[in-house]
A and B are shown apart, each in its own frame.
Chain A
């Protein structure tokens, strides 16, 4: 119980920081809407819905990447990570709190992006929305982890996409599959398996990311 209280405390702190600084969510919102507008005009009119759904996943992944690049900025620039690591909170709670706050930002961005996609491209079925939600969990679990890793390096802006994008490929495969096939069940199961597997790995190994 104490563990989840710590996670909630840390996630709530990130939300409060965003309310104060407003430096992540507005950028994510602007980016995802701008990307969908660009895709709308870039895609030939004869391109079908399938092409549009593929571009939706491109927009989601890069919007998430934008948010993740800011995820540990306060901890890095203000040196707070040491304070959190020193506290009796389980170190994996620091990762989980960050993954949850990143998930909240991504869901808020998608609350604008998905209706915008419906306006510019086509409607979304339940399988696509389920795929988006499952992929969001994996994106934020893995993303918060690799963002913490890249934060410790000087080439952090370069390292984050280099580490994150290959790990996001299965999520795009599963998400696009769930969006375009008639029987999306196995793709949704694949996304759920990815979430469970990678969240467990990140949970178990985060301690080694935040200590020298």
Chain B
């Protein structure tokens, strides 16, 4: 599903990473590890199509509408409610039976009771739960998760783990604490 050869990213003179070789097959669970600043987030942005490589080749065999992405930011409007944000994305992604899908995700991630409150009143953990709802809304084939457990409490982490266990998607997960996901990993990429 993902094939990268000699993948390099620079911002001006600053080299983020260079020469990355990566093959991810359908159904793989790939862990990307590395210290802060090693380029994990940048690599996921390249895989998502949000940035272009400075050198090397990258092929992702998934249409844009089949990719889900959890970033550091939840990518939602703070002045809208959780339900309004998810409706916005559901329309853009043409999610069939969107109302039911949104309700199911909000219920599953424990946000149903606050579904009509403005997101600006949410805690960081609730925002992360909403970010997961947004990324899973269109049932993507490829999920790119950047520190998905960050800010989640024990219950939120368990909900996420259950989602990972039940999904047939291909995962690329960036984390600097790989222990929690090690058992699921079918491949690893360590960035220096």
Interface size class of A (residues with CB under 8 A): 20 to 34
Contacts of B51 in A (CB 8 A): 211-212
- Tell me the bound Cα distance from A5 to B93 in angstroms: 11
- Tell me the bound Cα distance from A20 to B50 in angstroms: 29
Q: Return A12 CB to nearest CB of chain B, in Å.
A: 9
- The digit string for B69-112, where 1 denotes a CB below 8 A from any CB of A, is 10111111111100010001101111000000000000000000
Judged by a CB distance under 8 angstroms, whether B164 is at the interface is no
Most buried by A among B51, B72, B75, B80: B75
Judged by a CB distance under 8 angstroms, whether B3 is at the interface is no
Q: Decide if B79 touches A86 in the complex (CB within 8 Å).
A: no
- Tell me the bound Cα distance from A84 to B67 in angstroms: 13
Judged by a CB distance under 8 angstroms, whether A116 is at the interface is no
Instruction: Decide: A79 near B77, CB < 8 A? Known: A84-B92, A86-B49.
Output: no
The residues in A between 45 and 88 inclusive whose CB is less than 8 angstroms from any CB of B are 74, 78-80, 82-88
Judged by a CB distance under 8 angstroms, whether B129 is at the interface is no
Contacts of A155 in B (CB 8 A): none
Contacts of B52 in A (CB 8 A): 211-212
Q: Decide if A74 touches B64 in the complex (CB within 8 Å).
A: no
Q: Decide if A78 touches B73 in the complex (CB within 8 Å).
A: yes
Dominant secondary structure of chain B at its interface with chain A? loop
Q: Decide if A212 touches B92 in the complex (CB within 8 Å).
A: no
- The digit string for A100-119, where 1 denotes a CB below 8 A from any CB of B, is 00000000000000000000
Instruction: Decide: A79 near B79, CB < 8 A? Known: A9-B92, A212-B50.
Output: no
- Tell me the bound Cα distance from A88 to B71 in angstroms: 17
Judged by a CB distance under 8 angstroms, whether B118 is at the interface is yes
- Tell me the bound Cα distance from A9 to B80 in angstroms: 14
Contacts of B181 in A (CB 8 A): none
Judged by a CB distance under 8 angstroms, whether B65 is at the interface is yes
Judged by a CB distance under 8 angstroms, whether A30 is at the interface is no
Instruction: Decide: A20 near B79, CB < 8 A? Known: A9-B92, A86-B48.
Output: yes
- Tell me the bound Cα distance from A10 to B80 in angstroms: 13
14 more A-B residue pairs beyond the given contacts A21-B79, A78-B78, A86-B69, with a C-beta to C-beta distance below 8 A: A6-B92, A9-B92, A13-B88, A74-B77, A78-B73, A79-B72, A82-B48, A83-B76, A83-B134, A84-B92, A86-B64, A87-B65, A87-B93, A211-B52
